[in-house]
Structure 1
Amino acid sequence: MKKIFLSSIAASLLFTVSCQNDFENSTEDVVVTSGEADFSKYVALGNSLTAGYRDGALYSSGQAESYPSMLAGQMKLAGGGEFSQPLMPNDVGGFIGLPGFGGRYNLQLVDKKDHTGTVVSQSLSPVQAPAAATLDVIGGAGKSFSNMGVPGAKSFHLITPGYGNVANLPIAAANPYFVRFATSPSTTVLADAMAQSPTFFSLWIGANDVLSYSTNGGTNSQTVGGVTTYTQATDQKDNPNPATYRSNDISDPGLVTVAIKTVLDGLKSKGATKGVIANIPYVTSIPYFTTVPYNPVPLAAASAATLNGNFAMINGALASAGQPKRFMTLTASANNPVLIVDKSLLDISTFLPPQYAMYGQARHATAEDLILLPASSIIGIDPTTGLPPAPTSQMIGGVTIPLADQLVLTKTEAAKVQAATEAYNTAIKGLADSYGLAFVDANAKMKELNSASGIQWDGVKYTAKFVTGGAFSLDGVHPLGRGYAIIANEFLKAINNKYRSNLPMVSPNSYSGVKFP
């Protein structure tokens, strides 16, 4: 069985403009004006996408290419003020010795290197770089930052007191990124934004309310004594109490609506009545979920026949118990489905011979299941050696050993994510209308990016393909500099349309893209 080379851990999300209107706002002959808006004090609220996070970490050069920083640069042409960011102390990111996080937190993904330190050009599989520094606190009384994007923040975290309290880190009730720049241990992200009396704001929040559920395959994890166990995350529909949530649960749409409204009301109370808000793209259409196919397993005729015999026995046992079959007939081809664990299935392990107990909740994947990007380093590999299996090996990831539940977002789980996202987006559009705000339909732009034609900018094509699409970073969730520039243009267009300003677009091609080895 040969190793299947699929790109490894690479997310949120990317949206762009079409080439027809790329340069319609040239500053050569047009005086840039703010229209009905006042950009003198712009504050950005949100999560990792607002902070400039990419490659699995927040680091200084990535922050320099955050979309709010790009917006602020264009706003400055129309009377906008200075824009400050809580820059990381290095260009690596991550923290060492962080309490409550196993001493590691959000380590940057980099090109894979061999034992000599040379980049391995045949592989695009990234690895984690060592963190470079301990948590540094740069906030405090009297200090403020214009970019208040907090990686990992869910909607309700923006209004949660103590989210920036270092004392809450050991119990995972605080966020180290907000700890870095919070004005006090008891403050909230919203309170610190309000204290700046912004004249204009951007708000893009809600993606993490479904993203952590999705990227963990609908599971929650807990590590005790070095042993990690996984339990099912839940759809917290009709549960308005985040105190009962586990880290990866889907947030109740009602709670998300209240949280966002609370942010808007707080900003409005300080005179910030003009701003721009964006909805949430389907997280299931980003490279983290679309790169690994459900059927990447190549089999020779003899191997297919052997596996079919084993799986037919289990299918027969299921049929005799009145259960539908779970295993497909494999073929001598390169496109057989991977074997996965599906916790929604009846566990029949106690009724199977010991050597088949691992198939108690296993089945073959279908086109409606989403295989997560980290699975690419496991499929077709012998777990005992970490190498492609020997001809006699009986242990092959995704072939004879089911992929773990946390590596797959099943059809049922993906439906929950979509339902929650649609509910969030309905609420966000309603709030944008009722508060008279500019609105960015990020979900629609993501669909455009996922189309066969992609998005063109000055002769360069961008798509949602991992690495080769030129827009997403190595984590498969967050954009690169060029991707963030495309996002910035969508915000600029929405602002211009709503407030009669004529802020010029930025050129995505001028920002950083994929660095091929």
Structure 2
Amino acid sequence: MSVRRMGIVLFLSLSLMGAPLFADAPDFSRMVVVGDSLSAGYLSGGLEEEGQLTGYAALIASQAGVDLSLPLIAYPGVPNIMELETWGPPPIFGPVPGQSSGRIDPFTQAMNLAVPGHDALDALETRPDLPIDSLTDLVLGLPGLLDGVALSQVEWAEALEPSVILLWIGNNDILGAATEGSPELMTDPEVFEAAYGQIFDRLAATGAPIVVANIPDTTVIAYLTPVSEVSWAMGVPVELLEVALGVGPEDYVTLPGLDMASRILGGTLPGPLPDTMVLDTEEAQQIRERTDLFNAIIAAKAEQYGSTLVDIRALLERADAAGAMACGRRLATSFLGGVFSLDGVHPTRTGYALVANEFIAAINAGLGADLPPVDLCAVSASDPLLPPGMSFAPSGLGSPARGLLRPGPER
């Protein structure tokens, strides 16, 4: 057994301690997951075995004492995951070398159907095809395509006769608008409502209880840094940033934009920052309003079918405002703050455990289950993206250090 695999086994065994099976609990034996990269276990820029096994869906299955079949992807992942070389300052990180061999077991039918990059319409309609050259193909196409079967996420969920369904889709109907500073990239509300409605109607027709999560406010992810915090981290007044970078005091700078900003301020690049590296205050407000609209659609469908709603938006807002507590340590939503991984969008192991516990609390309340929470001490102790001893002050008590970020060269 490899050191990496041993570490994962130890991690899961620790988090499983005290996770009994309850005779009167809902049946989790055929739990099916429909979603995007957040449900797939995507971490630090790629989909790879370690992230999949420590994602929120796998953790929930572990706490329920059941096996969740995963479409495990061989190291170094697809795309290649990033790893942290040194904390710095500045932190040095980059993609690991090599090429993944793809699915570790192409003959395993996955019950976690979540595909990175999928939006609501994709979950409903997008099917895999030959050759196997995309994450849709790797997740949904094996082993089905070997027998000429090509189904979308929702079609697979119907076919697999689920006993419980975890549904978290819609993030990619918003995300690109935030990371590219382009609100026009958001899905049209009528398209989203129609697609999401069909997803919910068809999944509800399986008879399985649905546990559904809403969409977080993407302006609080680590990929975006408020200009006020850029000012604090770089030691440059906001007024000077406005002139040099072409940003407003209420704008956000993207993760790649932080490195460019440091070079502009250092005189090695001309300003201002390109529009794709800045989310201005008006764009941010448009994104929040669209997120609110989509979440209202999600909540209405959950209420229609009496489904359990997990408020991930509230979880992330609490973490952004006051930090997230994990084993006595206060984590931050800033880059390398402990909640988000190296891509600034997807959670760390500890971040996924926080998400899992939010799901578990909702499942216990909504379905009458008695699942124990994931042991955050065990998870955080094995999380390579939690620096030892680091704890952040909540907002208003001093800005968390985001640092001047500079990705390292590919290794």
TM-score (norm 1): 0.64
Number of the residue aligned with 2:332 = 463
1:266 aligns with 2:202: yes
The 1:201/1:294 distance shift into structure 2, 3 A limit, reads same
Aligned length: 368
2:10 aligned partner: none
SS in 2 for 1:378: helix
Mapped pair 1:109 → 2:109: no
Q: Partner residue of 1:187?
A: 151
CA contact (8 A) 1:374 1:407 kept: yes
Indicate whether 1:70 and 2:69 are aligned. Answer: no
Superposed displacement of residue 450, structure 1 = 1.1
| Residue number in structure 1 paired with 2:162 | 198
Whole-angstrom CA distance in 1 between matches of 2:23 and 2:190: 35
Instruction: Report the alpha carbon displacement of residue 136 of structure 1 after superposing the two structures with TM.
Output: 4.9
Aligned identity (percent) is 29
Contact preservation (8 Å) 2:246, 2:271? no
Deviation of 1:122 after TM superposition, in Å, equals 2.9
Letter in 1 for 2:158: M
- For residues 69 and 103 of structure 2, what CA distance do their matches in structure 1 show? 17
| Structure 2 equivalent of residue 93 of structure 1 | 77
Tell me the TM-score normalised to structure 2 length.
0.80
State the one-letter code of the partner of 2:174: V
Is the Cα contact below 8 Å between 1:53 and 1:151 reproduced in 2?
A: yes
Taking structure 1 as reference, are residues 86 and 294 closer, same or farther at Cα in structure 2, changes over 3 Å only? same
Q: Deviations over 1:77-112 (max 9, x none)?
A: xxxx4211001122x213xxxxxxxxxxx3322224
Point out which structure has higher relative CO (alpha carbons under 8 A, 6+ apart): 1
Using the alignment, how far apart are the partners of 1:501 and 1:368 within structure 2?
43
2:203 pairs with 1:255:
no
Partner of 1:228: none
CA change 1:445–1:401 in 2 (3 A) is same
2:398 corresponds to which residue? none
Using the TM superposition, name which of 143-152 and 277-286 deviates more. Answer: 143-152
Match of 2:292? 422
- Residue 144 of structure 2 aligns to a residue whose secondary structure is coil
2:227 touches 2:247 (CA, 8 Å); kept in 1? Answer: no
Amino acid of the residue matched to residue 33 of structure 1?
F
Q: Please list every run of 5 or more consecutive structure 2 residues that lacks an aligned counterpart in the other structure.
A: 1-16, 389-411
Distance verdict in 2 for CA 1:216–1:482, change over 3 Å: same
What SS is found at the alignment partner of 1:181?
Answer: coil
> Residue 380 of structure 1: SS of its match in structure 2?
helix
Take 1:120 and 1:510, find their aligned partners in 2: how far apart are those partners?
22
The residue aligned with 2:223 is 288
Q: Does the C-alpha gap of structure 1 residues 134 and 404 become closer, same or farther in structure 2, counting only changes over 3 Å?
A: farther
Question: Would the aligned equivalents of 2:73 and 2:104 in 1 still touch at CA under 8 Å?
Answer: no
> Which residue of 2 is the match for residue 410 of structure 1?
280
Partner deviation per Cα, 1:407-440 (whole Å, 9 max, x = no partner)? 0112222122111100110011111111111111
Secondary structure, counterpart of 1:475 in structure 2: coil
Q: Distance in 1 between matches of 2:87 and 2:22?
A: 49
Equivalence map 1:50-199=2 (5 Å) = 50-76=39-65, 81-90=66-75, 92-94=76-78, 106-112=79-85, 119=86, 121-133=88-100, 135-136=102-103, 139=106, 143-162=108-127, 164-166=128-130, 175-178=136-139, 181=142, 183-184=144-145, 186-199=150-163
- Find the aligned partners of 1:217 and 1:149 in 2 and give their Cα distance: 26
Structure 1 position 207, deviation (Å): 0.7
Cα 1:214–1:486 shift into 2, 3 Å = same
Q: What whole-Å deviation, never above 9, does each CA across 1:469-508 have from its counterpart, x for those lacking one?
A: 3221111111111111111111111111012111111112
For residue 175 of structure 1, report the CA deviation from its aligned partner: 3.6
1:202-281 counterparts in 2 under 5 A?
202-218=166-182, 234=184, 249-272=185-208, 274-281=209-216
Relative distance call for 1:161 and 1:473 in structure 2 (3 A) is closer
Secondary structure of 1:201 counterpart: strand
Q: SS at the partner of 2:100?
A: coil
Where does residue 237 of structure 1 map in the other structure?
none
Letter in 2 for 1:61: E
Separation in 2 of the partners of 1:134 and 1:75? Answer: 31
Distance 1:295 1:145, change over 3 A: closer
SS in 1 for 2:176: helix
Q: Which residue of 2 aligns with 1:496?
A: 364
Higher Rg of the two aligned structures: 1
| Structure with higher helix content | 2
Contact 2:73 2:100 in 1 (8 A): no
* Deviation string, structure 1 residues 43-73 (Cα, Å, up to 9, x no partner): 1111111111111111111111011111111
